[in-house]
Amino acid sequence: MADQNQLLEFTVDESGERLDRFLVEQLSDVSRAEVQRWLKEGRATVGGKLAKASQKLAADDIVTLLRPPTVAAVIAAEDIPLEVLYEDGDLLVVNKPAGMVTHPAPGQTSGTLVNALLARDPQQAAVGGPERAGIVHRLDRDTSGALVVAKTPDAFRHLKGQFKRRQVDKTYLTLVEGLVEVLEGRIEAPIARDPRHRKRMTVISEQRGGRRSVTAFRVVNIYRSSVSQRGDHFTLLEVDLLTGRTHQIRV
Would you please indicate which residues are annotated as catalytic (active-site) residues? 140
Listed in order, strand segments (DSSP E) in 68-207 are: 83-87, 91-96, 145-150, 171-177, 184-188, 191-194, 197-203
Half-sphere exposure of 249 (CA within 13 A, CB side): 18
Q: Which alpha helices (H) appear in 138-216, and where do they start and end?
A: 153-164
Number of Cβ within 10 Å of residue 137's Cβ equals: 16
Query: For residues 219 and 195, is the Cβ–Cβ distance under 8 A?
Result: no
CA distances from 197 to 12, 107, 200 (A): 25, 20, 6
Give the integer Cα–Cα distance in Å for 154 and 89: 12
Q: How far apart are CA 238 and CA 219, in angstroms?
A: 6
